[in-house]
Structure 1
Amino acid sequence: MSSTPAEQPKRPRVRPDLKAHRQRLQALDDEIQQVQQKYEEFSGRPAPSVRRSNPKPQELASQLESMKKQQATEKAALQASIRRRLARVKQLRDRCPCPTIVALEARIGELDQAIESGKMKLVEERQALNEIATLRKSRKNVEAYQEEQQELDREHQRFAELFSEGDTGRNSELNQQYKELQALLDEAQAEDQQQRQQRQKAVEERQAVKKTLDDLYQQRRTLNDEFYEAKRAYEAWLREDRKRREAEREQRRIQEAQERRQRQIEQEKELAEMPAFESEITACESLLKYLEQEFRQPTKSGNTNSSANSKPLNTVAVPESNGVAPRRVDTVPDGVRLASKSTRGEDYFFSPTAAKKSSKHKKKGKKGGRQSSTGASSGEHSAPSSTTAQPSSGGDQAVSFPLGVLESFWEIRVDPPTSVNEIKDVVQAIVEKKDWYLKNQIQVTADKKAKVEKKIQELAMQLETQAIVTNE
């Protein structure tokens, strides 16, 4: 697929008109029918025949032609046999060290005398013995070569005799008869010449009509060919135009896919640049600030509605975070109460995010009781676990929190306190959680960047592969 849009093919001027084409064909068919009737009239007339005064010359000529064909067939078969024997003789001659048995025996005797003379070296004597063994083994080939050569000579002689039989023997008698009959044929041809001329005139008239008829049929075929050629050209343009539109749609689809991947790469880069645990650290700071503000020691003027018999709340000390001394919480205003999990349902706070986190929070509460799973949700890095203090049954005053505060607790995976006595432990857990986030922020951010870089490389490879496929 080319990366550039396909060029729009040239559109034919008009679509072939089938109705007009049929009208032109009908006009030609009417003319063809008229000429066809005239041609049939010529074909129905009896043609003048050539009179054969004497059929015997034709019979003798036929016999002579048959003899010539038989002789030609015999010569052709003999030539084929000679070619085969020549190939066989050549093959045997290549295998034979000597052309005849006499030459073979002479060579063997010569080598035997040389060996018996004792004048040969050991190597030469061994070579001579090997040659003698080879010559004796090839004796059959030499004999076969001589036989094939003799048969070839006989076939050459037979072929020469066939060529010399043209003017002798039986062929000579047939040639004389053929000459006598040729004179009779010449007389018959003179008588038949006039009839042939009349017949030729009738044939020429019929051929003229036939030529006119053939021309009309050719016009009809040409008209059909031109119409269907124009139709095929128009259909080819439709196909090319459809392919072009499909190619443009495919190009747009590929371009949109590349743009989506490019946007995904940019988003991944932006996410990789963001420090890890940013939202968790913000949540920890917000919770610490909220607990510090809400549960510090109230003034006497702010506690006028409290019951005279109510016991004072325990003072909560918030640990220092980031070098800032936290305030001390002396008591909690009257009427602060956190509903128990058994009395509040999932729809107590109607929020999809809160409901989802509440469901996870309940499942973890079933497994670990009041103990919170404070580790990271996945991966190698997990925050240290935090455990909130169990509420005392000795009249501890319950506390409640807004939905946003509860979502912050769920985000850092710390159970919110249910009483004032648990606030100190929860604050300590939040501080530990925040310290862990700050301690592991750099490493987790680096790991996240490495994963994102790997993913970006994969996306870039996909873009490059897709670009190569697009340019093909």
Structure 2
Amino acid sequence: FGFSTPHTSCGTTSNLPTLCEEKTPVSTASDRPRSSGPFCPRLVRQPCTMAEAAPAKAPAAEPTPQATRPTRPDENAFKEELAKAEKAHKASMDKLSAIKAKIDIAMPSKNKDQPSPTQKRRQELIAQANEIRQKQAGGKNARTSKLDQIKRLDEQVRSRIAEQKTAKAKVPFKSAEDIDHQIESLDKQVNSGTMKLVDEKKALSDISSLRKMRKNFGQFDDSQKQIDDLRAKIKDIKDSMDDPEQKAMSEQYNKIQAELDTIKAEQDEAYKGLSSLKDERSKLQAEQQEKYTAIRKLKDDYYGQKKAFQAYERDVRDKQRERKKAEHEQYQRERKKAVAERVLAEASDPAYLEEIRRANSLLQFLDPTHKTEKGPLMADSGLSAQAQRTVDDSALKGTKLLRKEDREDEYLPAVKKGKKGKKGGAAPSSKLFNCPPSVVEDCALIGVEPPMSGDDVPGVIEKVRAKLDHWKSDQEAQTQRNIEKAKKEIEKLDKEESNGVNGSDKVDEVAAGVKDASIAEKQES
């Protein structure tokens, strides 16, 4: 709590000790020398290590052993088994869907709003066929007229061909070239003059007939040309009837009709084995349900083991956290207890020990004849200032050498030179007085102005003696006040601890507050 306490070995100031200071009672009230005033039992502090001073931690509580420790499920094995089960379930579902489709074909759905896939497809095909028929009906009349025209032209062609064949049958020659060769041969015979008159007349008559027949062969060519023209017209009409769009519609209609026939055949076939299909459907439904149950069981087992393992780990972490929390709370309680004992022990030390020690040190320096009182709590450390020794000079012979202070009239120190450019030497100095820094520090501590010259020493001595007398007279009362204040602060800490306030940092804060208050009171006094 910041009360100034001296160490008996060297007389130096000791502030708040750390946790590495062990408090061990070394004497009882009967054998310990008592000082004036009601002091609490003293506790001797000995240096120690952090390990010795730290509060003993509570033994780590072992986690409650469980009957069986859950094992972590193998995720890779689970995924592999799940993939196999889902594959088997999918195959079973595909078989069941195929059987249901066959049953739907044999038994159309009575609900028109929700037809089966087969019914829906059949209705679509019928609608497409009707649409094609309607499109084809628009060009039916034009096609009929063209067919009639083709029929008439074809009859004309056949008639002309028959007439041509009949006319050609009457002519012994197949072509006009044959007739020309025959006419040329007869002309050569007539012109040769070797023929008889009768034969020559007959040859000339044949030549005349052949020339007439030659003219008739020209009519055959005209007739053949007319036949070819009629055939060309028939071909043009047929080509106009071969419309690609109409042809495509006809092909589409044929495909639709073939698919409708296939559906009809499937319906007939399925209807014959309807009972066996229903039995197979029931069997596949049971198989599918079994596969699904296996998947559910596999997932339930895996996630159940996983949750159990996670719960076990969470429980272990919770227990470890609770154990650490309990150890931390125990450590804080022991730390608070140690701090409270330390504060109370420091408060029981006599007050103003450091101030009295500093005042005696100043008086011994300023007044060598000052005698320091030796109390039971202020053992002589051997380091205090002593009076200067006196030398017996009665036996000495010769001239006595005086110090500089004793021969000021004769001693003239060297004149110091001034800075360059300035004339005149240094100003004469007054009587020298040496005040060490430690004396200035002690004066500042007890609240006295340090002497600046030898003339200030008596006044400083009087002030120091006045403060020393006040501290000695008020030492017992101030010590009791320190003890009461420490007890109040300890009670405050106990109250905060009972309310669940974490006092680990609060102890240092309160100790600092008490220290500031005590030093302030001492400085004011």
Band the TM-score falls in, shorter-chain normalisation: 0.3 to 0.5
Determine which structure has greater relative contact order: mean sequence separation of CA pairs < 8 Å that are 6+ residues apart, divided by chain length.
2
Per the normalisation by structure 1, the TM-score is 0.44
